[in-house]
């Protein structure tokens, strides 16, 4: 191994994890990957990554391990299963990019620290697949400043902004605040495009037309036309949106915060998922409006 190269592990090569791991490969890192579905590792291997047979083997080889998994259940499984990361030995830092909410993040941080002498940073991201591919994600980090400092050089390959928001869970809470805006914007955008369509205005023109006014947003810019065209490319699943809204509502309950807009958005996303759109892109939300 060349002297100036550092080794890291990456677990979870889904829509977000794959381009994030590739950013590390194209930086000065030797990356070992593991993914539950082995066939999905081929693109990371083509980018120069090595393959581990289990999360435990990956953890034995690396003192810094990144995770990008669906939800808290997936993170718990990968961390604590028999051949999980926690069994790979003490002294490492886990950087968790999954969106799992503050309660799970705090629980994992405590359990890893007290039972396994492993440190944990919650580090959920925003910016989508395009941000992951271009290395322009924003990362909301929660945990100890010294741990975030240790992993900052690697994070900077994936992100234009790494923000230390506070102790464990603070990154997750910040991400959920972000998702309040993002999810309600997606729902508002579906509603607006349907109104344009029914009102006799070309909805595919609307995103450009609104681009310079108060309605402008990154969501409108990146997803407006795709939603209007019923583009079927998947860059973020509706089930993931549903999970985020559930996490937002749980924090609302814990903090006695009324969230009527998120409540409504959650019902619409649930309806879309129950209509069979769960594995489709979040822009397929407009199909709920097509049906009513």
The residues that are catalytic are: 175
Is 269 a binder of ligand NA7 (CB under 6 A)?
no
In sequence order, what are the residues at sequence separation of 6 or more whose Cβ sits closer than 8 angstroms to the Cβ of residue 278?
Answer: 237, 238, 239, 242, 272
Specify the stretch interacting with ligand NA7 by CB under 6 A; choose among 35-43, 141-149, 183-191, 219-227: 35-43
Helix (H) or strand (E) holding 67, with range, is strand 64-67
Residue in the structure block whose two tokens are 């381009």? 19
Q: Which of 6, 7, 27, 36 binds ligand NA7 (CB under 6 A)?
A: 36
**Binding of ligand NA7 at residue 62 (CB under 6 A)?**
no
Q: Does 217 bind ligand NA7 (CB under 6 A)?
A: no
Closest residue (Cβ) to ligand NA7?
14
d(CA 246, CA 92): 31
Using CB under 6 A, which of the segments 67-75, 156-164, 210-218, 222-230 binds ligand NA7?
Answer: 67-75
Which residues, at least 6 apart from 46, have a Cβ–Cβ distance to it below 8 Å?
Answer: none
Q: Mark 15-34 with x for binding to ligand NA7 (rule: CB under 6 A) and - for no binding.
A: xxx-----------------
Q: Rule CB under 6 A: is residue 182 a binding residue for ligand NA7? A: no
Dist. CA 180–CA 203, nearest whole Å = 24
Q: Per rule CB under 6 A, is residue 138 in the interface with ligand NA7?
A: no
CA-atom Rg of the chain in angstroms = 20
Q: Which residue stretch of 92-100, 183-191, 219-227, 250-258 sits at the interface with ligand NA7 (rule: CB under 6 A)?
A: 92-100
Nearest-angstrom CA–CA distance, 117 and 120: 10
Q: In this complex, which beta carbon is closest to ligand NA7, that of residue 252 or of residue 278?
A: 278
Distance separating alpha carbons of residues 84 and 178, to the nearest angstrom: 30
| Cα distance from N-terminal residue to C-terminal residue, the chain | 60
- Report the residue number, 33 or 206, with the smaller CB distance to ligand NA7: 33
Which residues pair with residue 138 across a beta bridge? Answer: 126, 161
Asked if 128 touches ligand NA7 (CB under 6 A), the answer is: no
Summarize as ranges the residues that interact with ligand NA7 (CB under 6 A).
12-17, 35-37, 40, 68-70, 74, 77-78, 97-99, 236-237, 240
């Amino acid at each position: 191994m060349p002297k100036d190269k550092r080794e890291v592990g990456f677990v979870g090569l889904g829509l977000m994890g794959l381009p994030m791991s590739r950013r590390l490969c194209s930086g000065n890192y030797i990356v070992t990957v593991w993914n539950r579905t082995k066939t999905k590792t081929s693109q990371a291997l083509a980018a120069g990554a090595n393959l581990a047979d289990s999360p435990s083997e990956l953890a034995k080889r690396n003192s810094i391990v990144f995770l990008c998994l669906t939800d808290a259940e997936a993170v718990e499984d990968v961390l604590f299963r028999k051949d999980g990361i926690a069994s790979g030995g003490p002294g490492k830092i886990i950087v968790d990019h999954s969106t799992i909410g503050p309660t799970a993040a705090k629980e994992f941080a405590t359990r890893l620290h007290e039972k396994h002498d492993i440190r944990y940073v919650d580090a959920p991201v925003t910016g989508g697949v395009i941000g992951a591919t271009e290395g322009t994600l924003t990362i909301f980090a929660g945990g100890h400043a010294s741990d975030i400092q240790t992993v900052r050089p690697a994070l900077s390959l994936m992100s234009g902004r790494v923000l230390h928001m506070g102790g464990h869970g603070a990154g997750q809470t910040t991400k959920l605040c972000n998702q309040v805006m993002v999810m309600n914007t997606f729902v508002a955008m579906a509603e607006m495009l349907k109104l344009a369509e029914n009102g006799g205005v070309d909805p595919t023109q609307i995103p450009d037309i609104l681009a310079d006014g108060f309605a402008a947003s990154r969501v409108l810019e990146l997803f407006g036309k795709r939603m209007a065209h019923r583009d079927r490319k998947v860059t973020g699943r509706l089930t993931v949106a549903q999970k985020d809204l559930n996490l937002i509502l749980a924090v609302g309950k814990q903090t006695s915060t009324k969230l009527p807009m998120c409540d409504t958005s959650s019902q619409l996303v649930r309806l879309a998922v129950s209509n069979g759109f769960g594995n489709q892109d979040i822009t397929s939300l407009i199909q709920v409006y097509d049906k009513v």
